[in-house]
Amino acid sequence: MAACDTCGNDYDTPMAITQHGRTHTFDSFECAIHLMAPSCAHCGVRILGHGIRDGNSVYCCEHCVPEDARVST
């Protein structure tokens, strides 16, 4: 058994996820999201989809992108 990197739970069927050369152990996708998913630069919510990138920042939705960074269509 291996302890979850997020919550410390010792789980009998953990999963290992490698990102940027580092491997983490988790007992659930929820714990993986808390440790690995990016946070919106405006509201802080964890981004599970593609998000919207602006330079080095990522936002969860159009509403959170700063006015001066929005592209008009």
> pLDDT tens digits for 11-53?
889 999 999 999 999 999 999 999 999 999 999 999 999 999 9
- If asked whether residues 46 and 64 sit together in one domain, one would say yes
> Do residue 30 and residue 58 come from a single domain?
no
The verdict on 64 and 44 lying in the same domain is yes
Range of the domain at 15: 1-36
pTM higher than the cut 0.85: no
The helix (H) or strand (E) run that includes residue 33 is helix 29-36
Contact 59, 40 (CB under 8 A): yes
Q: Are 3 and 32 contained in the same domain?
A: yes
Q: 73 and 49 in one domain?
A: yes
Gap between the Cα atoms of 45 and 11, Å rounded: 27
Q: Are residues 28 and 7 in the same domain?
A: yes
Amino acid at position 25, single letter: T
- How many domains does the structure of the chain reveal? 2
